Amino acid sequence: MLEARGLVKHYRSGGLPLGGGRRATVRAVDGVDLTLRRGSTLGLVGESGCGKSTLTRLLMALDRPTSGTVLVEGRDLLTLPSAELRRRRRDIQLVMQDPYTSLDPRMTALEIVREPLDIHRDLMPKKERASWAHELLHMVGLDPGHAHRHPHQFSGGQRQRLGIARALALRPKILVCDEPVSALDVSVQAQVINLFKELQREFGLSYVFIAHDLAVVRHVADEVAVMYLGRIVEHGDRDTVYSRPAHPYTRALLSAVPDPDPRSRGATGRIVLQGDPPSPTRPPAGCAFHTRCWKSQDLCGAERPVPTAPAADGRRQVACHFPEN
Protein backbone atom coordinates (compact mmCIF):
# COMPACT_ATOMS: atom_id res chain seq x y z
CA MET A 1 0.00 0.00 0.00
CA LEU A 2 2.71 2.45 1.09
CA GLU A 3 6.41 1.73 0.79
CA ALA A 4 9.53 3.73 1.55
CA ARG A 5 12.82 2.63 0.04
CA GLY A 6 16.14 4.04 1.20
CA LEU A 7 14.69 7.35 2.36
CA VAL A 8 17.34 9.92 3.25
CA LYS A 9 16.73 13.54 4.23
CA HIS A 10 19.63 15.84 5.05
CA TYR A 11 19.32 19.54 5.90
CA ARG A 12 21.91 22.26 6.00
CA SER A 13 22.20 23.68 9.50
CA GLY A 14 20.92 27.23 9.85
CA GLY A 15 23.67 28.19 12.29
CA LEU A 16 27.13 29.55 11.67
CA PRO A 17 29.56 27.29 9.82
CA LEU A 18 31.70 25.09 12.04
CA GLY A 19 35.35 26.14 12.12
CA GLY A 20 34.81 28.67 9.36
CA GLY A 21 33.93 25.94 6.86
CA ARG A 22 30.62 24.78 5.42
CA ARG A 23 27.44 24.60 7.48
CA ALA A 24 26.84 21.31 9.23
CA THR A 25 24.53 18.71 7.68
CA VAL A 26 21.61 17.52 9.81
CA ARG A 27 20.90 13.86 9.04
CA ALA A 28 17.22 13.87 9.98
CA VAL A 29 16.35 10.62 8.14
CA ASP A 30 19.24 8.37 7.29
CA GLY A 31 18.25 5.40 5.13
CA VAL A 32 14.73 4.24 6.08
CA ASP A 33 12.89 1.29 4.55
CA LEU A 34 9.24 0.77 5.54
CA THR A 35 6.21 -1.07 4.22
CA LEU A 36 2.58 -0.45 5.22
CA ARG A 37 0.18 -3.24 4.31
CA ARG A 38 -3.38 -2.54 3.22
CA GLY A 39 -5.80 -2.30 6.15
CA SER A 40 -3.05 -2.51 8.78
CA THR A 41 -1.48 -0.11 11.27
CA LEU A 42 2.25 0.54 11.41
CA GLY A 43 3.40 2.06 14.70
CA LEU A 44 6.49 4.26 14.49
CA VAL A 45 8.13 4.95 17.85
CA GLY A 46 11.24 6.68 19.13
CA GLU A 47 12.54 9.51 21.28
CA SER A 48 11.96 13.16 20.44
CA GLY A 49 14.29 14.29 17.68
CA CYS A 50 14.77 10.85 16.15
CA GLY A 51 13.26 11.93 12.81
CA LYS A 52 9.67 10.71 13.09
CA SER A 53 8.02 13.97 12.00
CA THR A 54 10.48 14.48 9.15
CA LEU A 55 9.69 10.97 7.95
CA THR A 56 6.00 11.90 8.08
CA ARG A 57 6.58 14.78 5.66
CA LEU A 58 8.53 12.53 3.31
CA LEU A 59 5.85 9.82 3.29
CA MET A 60 3.24 12.42 2.33
CA ALA A 61 5.49 14.02 -0.31
CA LEU A 62 5.31 17.33 1.55
CA ASP A 63 9.09 17.44 1.42
CA ARG A 64 11.46 15.91 -1.10
CA PRO A 65 14.03 13.43 0.21
CA THR A 66 17.73 13.79 -0.45
CA SER A 67 17.49 10.30 -1.91
CA GLY A 68 15.10 7.35 -1.89
CA THR A 69 11.57 6.70 -3.10
CA VAL A 70 8.02 6.72 -1.70
CA LEU A 71 5.60 4.33 -3.42
CA VAL A 72 1.81 4.37 -3.05
CA GLU A 73 0.17 1.38 -4.70
CA GLY A 74 3.32 0.95 -6.75
CA ARG A 75 3.50 4.57 -8.00
CA ASP A 76 6.50 6.68 -7.05
CA LEU A 77 5.12 9.94 -5.65
CA LEU A 78 8.36 11.78 -6.30
CA THR A 79 8.25 11.28 -10.07
CA LEU A 80 4.57 12.10 -10.64
CA PRO A 81 3.54 15.23 -12.55
CA SER A 82 2.14 17.92 -10.26
CA ALA A 83 -1.48 17.32 -11.32
CA GLU A 84 -1.21 13.58 -10.68
CA LEU A 85 0.56 14.18 -7.36
CA ARG A 86 -2.30 16.45 -6.30
CA ARG A 87 -4.78 13.66 -7.02
CA ARG A 88 -2.64 11.07 -5.24
CA ARG A 89 -2.43 13.23 -2.13
CA ARG A 90 -6.13 12.68 -1.63
CA ASP A 91 -5.28 9.09 -0.71
CA ILE A 92 -2.92 10.11 2.11
CA GLN A 93 -4.18 12.48 4.78
CA LEU A 94 -2.63 13.74 8.02
CA VAL A 95 -3.98 13.84 11.57
CA MET A 96 -1.85 16.31 13.49
CA GLN A 97 -0.64 16.26 17.07
CA ASP A 98 -2.18 19.47 18.36
CA PRO A 99 -5.92 19.56 17.63
CA TYR A 100 -6.14 23.28 18.41
CA THR A 101 -3.35 24.83 16.35
CA SER A 102 -4.17 22.59 13.37
CA LEU A 103 -7.68 24.08 13.05
CA ASP A 104 -8.51 27.52 11.66
CA PRO A 105 -10.10 29.42 14.59
CA ARG A 106 -12.15 31.59 12.21
CA MET A 107 -13.93 28.64 10.58
CA THR A 108 -16.87 26.64 11.86
CA ALA A 109 -16.70 22.87 12.28
CA LEU A 110 -18.74 22.42 9.11
CA GLU A 111 -16.43 24.70 7.12
CA ILE A 112 -13.34 22.92 8.43
CA VAL A 113 -14.58 19.48 7.36
CA ARG A 114 -15.92 20.74 4.03
CA GLU A 115 -12.81 22.73 3.08
CA PRO A 116 -10.87 19.80 1.50
CA LEU A 117 -13.89 19.12 -0.72
CA ASP A 118 -14.06 22.77 -1.74
CA ILE A 119 -10.39 22.53 -2.78
CA HIS A 120 -10.78 19.22 -4.64
CA ARG A 121 -14.01 20.27 -6.30
CA ASP A 122 -14.11 17.45 -8.83
CA LEU A 123 -14.48 14.83 -6.09
CA MET A 124 -18.05 15.65 -5.05
CA PRO A 125 -20.85 17.95 -6.30
CA LYS A 126 -21.17 21.14 -4.28
CA LYS A 127 -24.71 20.36 -3.13
CA GLU A 128 -23.55 17.09 -1.50
CA ARG A 129 -20.56 18.46 0.43
CA ALA A 130 -22.41 19.84 3.44
CA SER A 131 -24.35 16.60 3.83
CA TRP A 132 -21.13 14.54 3.74
CA ALA A 133 -19.52 16.88 6.27
CA HIS A 134 -22.46 16.45 8.65
CA GLU A 135 -22.23 12.68 8.23
CA LEU A 136 -18.52 12.72 9.06
CA LEU A 137 -19.13 14.77 12.20
CA HIS A 138 -21.60 12.12 13.32
CA MET A 139 -19.16 9.28 12.47
CA VAL A 140 -16.43 10.72 14.69
CA GLY A 141 -18.80 11.18 17.62
CA LEU A 142 -19.60 14.89 17.31
CA ASP A 143 -23.11 16.32 17.39
CA PRO A 144 -23.96 17.57 13.87
CA GLY A 145 -26.05 20.20 15.65
CA HIS A 146 -22.75 21.79 16.71
CA ALA A 147 -21.58 22.13 13.11
CA HIS A 148 -21.62 25.92 13.32
CA ARG A 149 -19.45 26.13 16.42
CA HIS A 150 -15.85 27.31 16.24
CA PRO A 151 -12.84 25.27 17.46
CA HIS A 152 -12.51 27.14 20.78
CA GLN A 153 -16.03 25.99 21.69
CA PHE A 154 -14.97 22.33 21.67
CA SER A 155 -12.93 20.36 24.20
CA GLY A 156 -9.49 18.99 23.31
CA GLY A 157 -10.85 15.54 22.51
CA GLN A 158 -13.66 17.01 20.42
CA ARG A 159 -11.18 19.14 18.48
CA GLN A 160 -9.13 16.05 17.67
CA ARG A 161 -12.28 14.30 16.47
CA LEU A 162 -12.91 17.33 14.28
CA GLY A 163 -9.40 17.01 12.85
CA ILE A 164 -10.04 13.35 12.13
CA ALA A 165 -13.30 14.18 10.35
CA ARG A 166 -11.45 16.69 8.17
CA ALA A 167 -8.81 14.06 7.33
CA LEU A 168 -11.56 11.67 6.21
CA ALA A 169 -13.35 14.19 4.00
CA LEU A 170 -11.60 13.09 0.78
CA ARG A 171 -12.12 9.38 1.54
CA PRO A 172 -8.39 8.61 1.85
CA LYS A 173 -6.87 5.15 1.92
CA ILE A 174 -4.05 6.04 4.32
CA LEU A 175 -3.98 8.21 7.43
CA VAL A 176 -0.64 9.38 8.78
CA CYS A 177 -1.25 10.11 12.46
CA ASP A 178 1.52 12.24 13.99
CA GLU A 179 1.21 11.68 17.76
CA PRO A 180 -2.57 12.22 17.55
CA VAL A 181 -3.34 11.51 21.22
CA SER A 182 -0.25 12.83 23.03
CA ALA A 183 -1.91 16.20 23.79
CA LEU A 184 -5.03 14.57 25.28
CA ASP A 185 -5.92 13.35 28.77
CA VAL A 186 -5.54 9.60 29.33
CA SER A 187 -9.30 8.93 29.44
CA VAL A 188 -9.80 10.89 26.22
CA GLN A 189 -6.84 9.09 24.62
CA ALA A 190 -8.64 5.77 25.04
CA GLN A 191 -11.79 7.12 23.39
CA VAL A 192 -9.88 8.51 20.41
CA ILE A 193 -7.88 5.28 20.00
CA ASN A 194 -11.14 3.30 19.94
CA LEU A 195 -12.46 5.74 17.34
CA PHE A 196 -9.42 5.11 15.13
CA LYS A 197 -10.11 1.37 15.31
CA GLU A 198 -13.79 1.81 14.44
CA LEU A 199 -12.97 4.03 11.47
CA GLN A 200 -10.37 1.55 10.24
CA ARG A 201 -13.00 -1.19 10.16
CA GLU A 202 -15.58 1.12 8.58
CA PHE A 203 -13.40 2.54 5.79
CA GLY A 204 -10.67 -0.12 5.43
CA LEU A 205 -8.02 2.46 6.29
CA SER A 206 -4.30 1.91 6.65
CA TYR A 207 -2.53 3.88 9.39
CA VAL A 208 0.99 5.10 10.01
CA PHE A 209 0.70 5.82 13.73
CA ILE A 210 3.59 7.89 15.09
CA ALA A 211 4.07 8.11 18.85
CA HIS A 212 6.60 8.12 21.65
CA ASP A 213 4.24 6.27 24.02
CA LEU A 214 4.79 2.54 23.52
CA ALA A 215 1.75 1.66 25.63
CA VAL A 216 -0.49 3.52 23.16
CA VAL A 217 1.19 1.94 20.13
CA ARG A 218 0.67 -1.52 21.58
CA HIS A 219 -3.10 -0.99 21.47
CA VAL A 220 -3.31 0.23 17.88
CA ALA A 221 -0.42 -1.23 15.84
CA ASP A 222 -0.15 -4.46 13.89
CA GLU A 223 3.53 -3.85 13.21
CA VAL A 224 6.06 -1.67 15.04
CA ALA A 225 9.11 0.16 13.73
CA VAL A 226 11.57 1.61 16.26
CA MET A 227 13.50 4.68 15.13
CA TYR A 228 16.76 6.05 16.52
CA LEU A 229 18.77 8.97 15.14
CA GLY A 230 17.10 8.84 11.73
CA ARG A 231 17.35 5.05 11.32
CA ILE A 232 15.00 2.11 11.83
CA VAL A 233 16.70 -0.19 14.34
CA GLU A 234 13.92 -2.79 14.68
CA HIS A 235 10.80 -3.57 12.66
CA GLY A 236 8.43 -6.47 13.15
CA ASP A 237 4.97 -7.58 14.19
CA ARG A 238 3.72 -6.04 17.42
CA ASP A 239 3.57 -9.15 19.59
CA THR A 240 7.08 -10.26 18.67
CA VAL A 241 8.63 -6.84 19.24
CA TYR A 242 6.89 -6.32 22.58
CA SER A 243 7.39 -9.82 23.97
CA ARG A 244 10.91 -10.47 22.67
CA PRO A 245 12.66 -7.20 21.75
CA ALA A 246 15.89 -7.96 19.91
CA HIS A 247 17.56 -4.55 19.69
CA PRO A 248 19.05 -3.08 22.89
CA TYR A 249 17.37 0.27 22.24
CA THR A 250 13.96 -1.40 21.93
CA ARG A 251 14.60 -3.23 25.20
CA ALA A 252 15.45 0.07 26.91
CA LEU A 253 12.29 1.77 25.62
CA LEU A 254 10.05 -1.10 26.70
CA SER A 255 11.64 -1.25 30.14
CA ALA A 256 10.43 2.32 30.74
CA VAL A 257 6.75 1.51 30.05
CA PRO A 258 4.80 1.51 33.36
CA ASP A 259 3.37 -1.89 34.30
CA PRO A 260 -0.20 -1.68 35.70
CA ASP A 261 0.15 -5.06 37.46
CA PRO A 262 1.81 -4.47 40.86
CA ARG A 263 2.76 -8.15 41.11
CA SER A 264 4.99 -7.97 38.05
CA ARG A 265 6.64 -4.63 38.78
CA GLY A 266 10.36 -5.03 39.10
CA ALA A 267 10.32 -8.48 37.50
CA THR A 268 12.29 -7.05 34.61
CA GLY A 269 14.79 -4.36 35.54
CA ARG A 270 14.57 -0.83 34.22
CA ILE A 271 17.30 -0.11 31.69
CA VAL A 272 18.62 3.42 32.14
CA LEU A 273 20.56 4.63 29.13
CA GLN A 274 23.64 6.71 29.81
CA GLY A 275 24.09 10.07 28.12
CA ASP A 276 22.03 11.79 25.45
CA PRO A 277 21.47 10.77 21.83
CA PRO A 278 24.31 11.97 19.58
CA SER A 279 23.77 15.05 17.47
CA PRO A 280 22.28 14.34 14.02
CA THR A 281 24.88 16.74 12.64
CA ARG A 282 27.66 14.44 13.85
CA PRO A 283 26.29 10.90 14.10
CA PRO A 284 28.76 8.29 15.30
CA ALA A 285 30.36 5.88 12.87
CA GLY A 286 28.98 2.38 12.69
CA CYS A 287 25.86 1.71 14.73
CA ALA A 288 24.20 4.98 15.76
CA PHE A 289 23.33 3.51 19.17
CA HIS A 290 26.74 2.14 20.12
CA THR A 291 27.71 5.20 22.20
CA ARG A 292 24.90 4.38 24.68
CA CYS A 293 24.71 0.59 24.33
CA TRP A 294 25.82 -1.76 27.11
CA LYS A 295 26.54 -4.49 24.54
CA SER A 296 28.80 -2.33 22.37
CA GLN A 297 32.00 -3.87 21.00
CA ASP A 298 34.66 -2.65 18.58
CA LEU A 299 32.66 -3.88 15.59
CA CYS A 300 29.71 -1.65 16.55
CA GLY A 301 31.71 1.55 16.19
CA ALA A 302 33.38 0.46 12.97
CA GLU A 303 30.59 -0.98 10.83
CA ARG A 304 26.97 0.06 10.35
CA PRO A 305 24.73 -2.99 10.94
CA VAL A 306 22.48 -4.13 8.10
CA PRO A 307 18.87 -4.92 9.12
CA THR A 308 18.57 -8.71 9.22
CA ALA A 309 16.28 -11.29 10.80
CA PRO A 310 17.60 -12.77 14.07
CA ALA A 311 18.20 -16.51 14.17
CA ALA A 312 15.00 -18.54 13.83
CA ASP A 313 12.93 -15.35 13.58
CA GLY A 314 11.94 -14.24 10.10
CA ARG A 315 9.11 -11.98 11.25
CA ARG A 316 11.22 -8.91 11.91
CA GLN A 317 14.33 -7.02 10.92
CA VAL A 318 16.92 -5.83 13.46
CA ALA A 319 19.86 -3.50 12.78
CA CYS A 320 22.24 -4.83 15.44
CA HIS A 321 25.48 -6.81 15.35
CA PHE A 322 24.59 -8.59 18.60
CA PRO A 323 20.78 -8.85 18.81
CA GLU A 324 18.88 -10.82 21.42
CA ASN A 325 17.72 -14.19 20.08
For residue 225, give every residue at least 6 positions away whose Cβ sits within 8 Å of its Cβ, in sequence order, or none.
34, 42, 43, 44, 45, 232, 234, 235
Taking a C-beta distance cutoff of 8 angstroms, is the pair 13, 281 a contact?
yes
Domains and CATH numbers, the chain: 2-13+24-221 (3.40.50.300), 247-325 (no CATH)
Question: Reduced to 3 states, what is the DSSP secondary structure of residue 236?
Answer: strand
pTM of the model: 0.87
For residue 171, give every residue at least 6 positions away whose Cβ sits within 8 Å of its Cβ, in sequence order, or none.
90, 123, 203
Taking a C-beta distance cutoff of 8 angstroms, is the pair 63, 9 a contact?
yes
325 residues of the chain, pLDDT tens digit each: 898 999 999 988 765 555 555 678 888 898 999 899 999 999 999 888 888 889 988 998 888 999 999 998 888 888 888 888 888 888 999 998 887 888 999 999 999 999 999 999 888 889 999 999 999 999 999 998 899 999 999 998 899 999 999 999 999 999 999 888 887 888 888 899 999 999 999 999 999 999 888 888 998 999 999 999 999 999 999 999 988 899 999 998 888 776 665 555 555 567 777 778 888 888 889 999 998 888 889 999 899 998 887 766 667 899 999 888 6
Query: Helix 156-168 and helix 126-139: axis angle, to 10°?
Result: 140
User: Taking the alpha carbons of 218, 9, 32, 279 in that order, is the dihedral positive or negative?
Assistant: negative
Q: What is the pLDDT of residues 61-73, one digit of tens each?
A: 888 999 999 998 8
